[in-house]
Amino acid sequence: MMNTATDKKEEFSVLEERKDSILYKYEGGCSGTGIRCDSDSVSGAVSQRACVYCGARVVLNPITDAFHIVHGPIGCASYTWDIRGSLSSGEEIYRNSFSTDLREKDVIFGGERKLEAGIEEIALKYHPRLLFVYATCIVGVIGDDVDAVCKSMSKKYDMQVIPVKSPGFSGNKATGYKMACNAIMQLLLPYKNREKRNGINILGDFNLAGEMWIIKNYMKEIGIDVVATFTGDSSYENMIKAPAARLNIVQCAGSSTYLANRMQEEMDIPYIKVSFFGIEDTTNSLLRIAGAMKDEKALQKAEEFCNRKARELEGFLETYKKGLEGKRAAVYVGGGFKAISLIRQFKSLGMKTVLVGTQTGKPEDYEVIESIAEKDTVILDDANPAELEKFMIEKKPDILVGGVKERPLAYKLGIAFCDHNHERKHPLAGFEGVINFTKEISDGILNPVWKYVRQ
Amino acid sequence: MLNYTEKEVANRKALVINPAKTCQPVGAMYAALGVHGCLPHSHGSQGCCAFHRMFLTRHFKDPAMAASSSFTEGASVFGGGSNLKTAVKNIFDLYDPEIIAVHTTCLSETIGDDLNALITDMTIPEGKYVVHCNTPSYKGSHVDGFTNMVSGFIRYLAKKGPETNEKVCLLPGFVNPGDMREYRRIMNLMKVPFIMLPDTSGVMDTPMTGKFEMYPKGGTLINDIKDVGNCMATIALGLKVSEPSAAVLEKQCDIPYQALPLPIGIEATDKFVMALQDISKDEVPYALEEERGQLVDIMVDIHPYTFGKKVAIYGDPDTVLGIASFALELGMIPKYVLTGTPGAAFEERARELFEKFGMEGCMAKEAGDLYLLHQWIKNEKVDLLIGGTHGKFIARAEDIPFVRMGFPIIDRYVHSYMPLVGYKGAMRMAELVSNALLDYRDRTCEEKDMEMVL
């Protein structure tokens, strides 16, 4: 039986429009009408949700040798300058910030000339292969034809200048993911008929704290070739090889499923969704990749490898489990798939997830969350701080897993915090990630500082 | 990361590379947080609000609450009026602030939403307030946004009554809560009654209580903002950031103002204290005199290490000029001073400073960026870099000791609790600067030159 939270909890003041975005999970619960997700934030809500530009930028930003030009007033460039924490083994140009810094006269007379001049400045100085031009909120409103500018500049300087249509108002962050995927497709389509070879593309990993390198090592370990990566530690040359792969694996489903779908339809590359968070999901993912590649040898290697790694972790986990058994976790992350992995990971540590929310979770993600969550777990879509606070006070978690905006809220409530987003301090993926994650959760919860918080 | 920086400075016309500024709305949001019971409201796409909250949170390490009109395609075509109306109703229903401070964005400005008209037409609950300011992101910078929001509060709320309240209206400038606390301490020591607008202390530096307060204890009270109309004078700290708001108050309520540089360093703090003394007609208390003497004592102690050292300073105009002024007092050479914020006055004021101390070959730039600063440094290196977090890559690339001051600082802690202003602030700066120089020396000098006592 599934009710909206407010049916049960009259004292919570929750915006009427938001009631359908909050669920209480009761024992034996099954999905009724489901949660209302994937819609725009309500006007006036203190939403945590970012915009189309933000979504597009975070997906494309890790491409290491690309120039990312933000066409608009300065803010959008300032707020996204090197915020992603994506690492590079090669070029580092992506960590700089380029903006046309549109001024009042550009708004009146149009910004096309300035954009052209900006692209030329870069073209003449650096002769790059790849530039992305992000069209922010006002670009369309003032009538700039960014497509035309990109086209003519591409031709003039024999380089790829790819427009990314990302006005903030044109949807939410998920729309931005889609725009980024379209930009990548524009880059790949000329190479779509490449001859296939035995290898995979890794989609939806952004090499935060070097996680792409961990996954690539695993592939090496089980003997599966990696053709291209999207977009962590990737480059122009690397990406255009992608159409040759036999399989796509999708880690961050929220941002990259759309790309996987398009590559499946237009390049005949099937995909599977994977997650490398936690032993269970990492093991399953490696086995499924080997299986999907129909590679018996890889399957055997994966089994051996994962068993060995899991064995190596046994003693470690037992030690930490002692301190963590019975502790309560709250999860508020971007995508639904990550939330699912986290619930499983907490379960394996003997912890209980009492609150789950996502910013961009899909209906099917929420179905899975509902099925694996324990009874009384609160499930939220696009929560605002007031809601998060109310439910955190009610559910009393010992730790919150979230992103930058949730950290101070958790701390103010005297609750430990783990950043599972751009500000993660170390890799959280793979078996290495299990160690880091477990230590971080334990260090957070058991830290003496909480003793000094006046209750 | 900065391998791409070319030594040769070419005239860039179209691109800003590695900005030393951001857009107006974030400054407006910060100013609005300095009013008690206020919920800042971003009239634009939902991303703006999320970015600004993140930006402020990264600097202050405290939650920054604000709401958004959450523009959609429809709003961008038909105007955001109905979004704002819905937003205001929802905000009062759910979050129950005393006041909503709306600022615009590039989008709502470009599509031409008339906020005056929209707010006039709105039903606002009894005893509640909605104010606004225009913060087009394509003009000025975050510093102007702060100014505009302060002016907005004054425009909507300040009323002149029949009698003066014998108080000073203190406009603090775009500074940290730690600075605002220091102002308060100095004002109290000088026995000058005052209203500070805004006041983010107690909002963005709240103590840990185990409770989350949507509207923390701090912030200027609405009644006090109304009452600034009855002040006997305004002291505007920061010629760029505060003077325009003081002028608005003068025009509206006939209150004379004195605009001063941010009281950073010894002379600027002296000026501030003298201005207060002019009002109090009282002697400067020994406590302050003692602090000033301590500061000079410290400056004497460290002068062998600071004298003649070249320093590059970047950030917001008033802050940069304040730091440059103190650097000069320490015998340092402010080789490069740069702000991303546009405004020719910055370069003029910098040149005045250089001339006053007989400095030659120092460079100042308004509307610059960190790429340019890096190019300058590649051409002639400096001994110290001072500014917000974003300069750390230059410091690393060129192996220059680095002191974080200004906004934003997103990779260190505690800064927002501590002042740069006043004699105490200068002592702290002296410590930060000399530590950075001496740490660098200890780390890099040859073994034979390593000394226990410095």
Express each pLDDT in B264-294 by its tens digit: 999 999 999 999 999 999 999 999 999 999 9
Question: How many degrees, rounded to 5, is the angle at CA A285 between CA A279 and CA A286?
Answer: 90
How does DSSP classify residue A196?
P
For residue B450, is pLDDT > 60?
A: yes
Section B1-15 average pLDDT: 86
Using an 8 Å Cβ cutoff, are B227 and B165 in contact?
A: yes
B125 and B212 assigned to the same domain: no
Whether cis (ω within 30° of 0) applies to the bond prior to B319 is no
**Which CATH number covers residue B398?**
3.40.50.1980
Q: Looking at CA atoms only, how far is residue B446 from chain A in angstroms?
A: 33
CB atoms within 10 A of CB B1: 18
Interface confidence, given as ipTM, is 0.95
Residues of A in Cβ contact (< 8 Å) with B63: 385, 405, 408-409, 412
**Residue B19 falls within a domain, yes or no?**
no
Residue B138 to residue A107, Cβ atoms within 8 A: yes
- Taking alpha carbons only, the member of A441, A88, A104 closest to residue A238 is A88
3-state secondary structure of B180: helix
Residues of A in Cβ contact (< 8 Å) with B48: 51, 75, 168
B85 and B116 assigned to the same domain: yes
CA distance B96 to B65: 13
B240 and B318 assigned to the same domain: no
Section B408-432 average pLDDT: 98
**Residue B335 falls within a domain, yes or no?**
yes
Task: Look up tokens 């971080």; give the residue.
Answer: A440
Q: Which among B123, B157, B191 is the end of a domain?
A: B157
Section B381-406 average pLDDT: 98
B69 touches chain A (CB under 8 A): yes
What pLDDT sits at residue A334?
Answer: 79
CA distance B451 to A346: 52
Fold of A199-303: Rossmann fold (3.40.50)
- Taking alpha carbons only, the member of B322, B358, B324, B151 closest to residue B243 is B151
Range of the domain at B256: 168-280
What pLDDT sits at residue A14?
Answer: 56
Give CATH 3.40.50.1980 domain extents, chain A.
2-36+325-424, 52-180, 199-303
What pLDDT sits at residue A454?
Answer: 59
What pLDDT sits at residue A203?
Answer: 97
Compare CB distances from A51 to B26, B45, B87 and report the shortest one's residue: B45
B316 and B443 assigned to the same domain: yes
What residues have CB less than 8 Å from B267, skipping those under 6 apart?
B325, B329
Section B435-446 average pLDDT: 98
CA distance A176 to B45: 13
**Residue B202 falls within a domain, yes or no?**
yes
Residues of A in Cβ contact (< 8 Å) with B139: 103-104
How does DSSP classify residue B228?
G
B71 and B183 assigned to the same domain: no
pLDDT tens readout for residues B368-390: 999 999 999 999 999 999 999 99
Structural domain count, chain B: 3
Residue A223: alpha-carbon gap to chain centroid: 27
B223 and B133 assigned to the same domain: no
How does DSSP classify residue A122?
H
Residue B211 to residue A413, Cβ atoms within 8 A: yes
- Taking alpha carbons only, the member of A365, A395, A385 closest to residue A34 is A365
Q: Looking at CA atoms only, how far is residue A408 from chain B in angstroms?
A: 5
Sign of CA dihedral A82, A87, A92, A93: negative
Whether cis (ω within 30° of 0) applies to the bond prior to B198 is yes
What pLDDT sits at residue A8?
Answer: 35
Question: How many degrees, rounded to 5, is the angle at CA A399 between CA A215 and CA A408?
Answer: 100
3-state secondary structure of B406: coil
Compare CB distances from B46 to A41, A72, A141 and report the shortest one's residue: A41
Residues of A in Cβ contact (< 8 Å) with B22: 74-75, 78-79
3-state secondary structure of B114: coil
Q: Per residue in A138-164, is it b (16+ CB within 10 Å) or e — as a string?
A: bbbbbebbbeebbeebbeebebbbbbb
CB pairs under 8 A between A and B: 250
pLDDT tens readout for residues B56-111: 999 999 999 999 999 988 888 889 999 999 999 999 999 999 999 999 999 999 99
What residues have CB less than 8 Å from A85, skipping those under 6 apart?
A208, A209, A422, A423, A424
CA distance B172 to B182: 10
Sheet holding B67-68, edge to edge: B67-68, B38-43, B99-104, B129-133
For chain A, 455 residues long, the average pLDDT of each consecutive 10-residue run is 35 55 48 45 80 94 97 96 88 95 96 97 94 96 96 97 95 91 97 96 95 97 98 97 98 88 97 94 96 97 98 96 96 87 94 90 85 88 80 94 86 93 89 97 94 75
B337 and B271 assigned to the same domain: no
Residues of B in Cβ contact (< 8 Å) with A172: 46
What pLDDT sits at residue A28?
Answer: 34
Residue B236: alpha-carbon gap to chain centroid: 13
Q: Which among B257, B280, B303 is the end of a domain?
A: B280
pTM, two decimal places: 0.94
pLDDT tens readout for residues B180-234: 999 999 999 999 999 999 999 999 999 998 888 999 999 999 999 999 999 999 9
If pLDDT is split at 50, 70 and 90, which confidence band does B21 have? very high
DSSP one-letter string for A306-348 = HHHHHHHHHHHHHHHHHHHTT-EEEEEESSHHHHHHHHHHHHH
Cα-flanking dihedrals φ and ψ of residue A353, to 5°?
Answer: -90, 115
B93 and B204 assigned to the same domain: no
Stated as kind and residue range, the H or E segment containing A358 is strand A352-358
Q: Looking at CA atoms only, how far is residue A142 from chain B in angstroms?
A: 8
B217 and B335 assigned to the same domain: no
A2-36+325-424 has which CATH code?
Answer: 3.40.50.1980
B139 and B189 assigned to the same domain: no
**Residue B188 falls within a domain, yes or no?**
yes
Interface test with A, best of B21, B52, B58, B70 (most A CBs within 10 A): B70
The fourth-level CATH superfamily of domain A52-180 is Nitrogenase molybdenum iron protein domain (3.40.50.1980)
- For strand A22-25 and strand A2-4, is the pairing parallel, antiparallel, or unpaired? antiparallel
Q: Which among B249, B280, B311 is the end of a domain?
A: B280
**Residue B30 falls within a domain, yes or no?**
yes
B211 touches chain A (CB under 8 A): yes
B294 and B265 assigned to the same domain: no
Residues of A in Cβ contact (< 8 Å) with B371: 96
B379 and B237 assigned to the same domain: no
Sheet holding A130-135, edge to edge: A160-165, A130-135, A67-71, A98-99, B16-17
Residue A45 to residue B89, Cβ atoms within 8 A: no
DSSP one-letter string for B278-343 = HHH-SPPPHHHHHHHHHHHHHHHHHHHHHTT-EEEEEESHHHHHHHHHHHHHTT-EEEEEEESS--
Residue type, B286: Y
Cα-flanking dihedrals φ and ψ of residue B166, to 5°?
Answer: 60, 25
- For strand A416-419 and strand B16-17, is the pairing parallel, antiparallel, or unpaired? unpaired
CA distance A309 to A430: 10
CA distance B169 to B47: 35
Compare CB distances from B47 to A46, A50, A82 and report the shortest one's residue: A50
**Residue B162 falls within a domain, yes or no?**
no
CA distance A418 to A401: 5
Compare CB distances from B214 to A42, A386, A414 and report the shortest one's residue: A386
If pLDDT is split at 50, 70 and 90, which confidence band does B135 have? very high
Cα-flanking dihedrals φ and ψ of residue A209, to 5°?
Answer: 50, 25
CA distance A387 to A408: 15
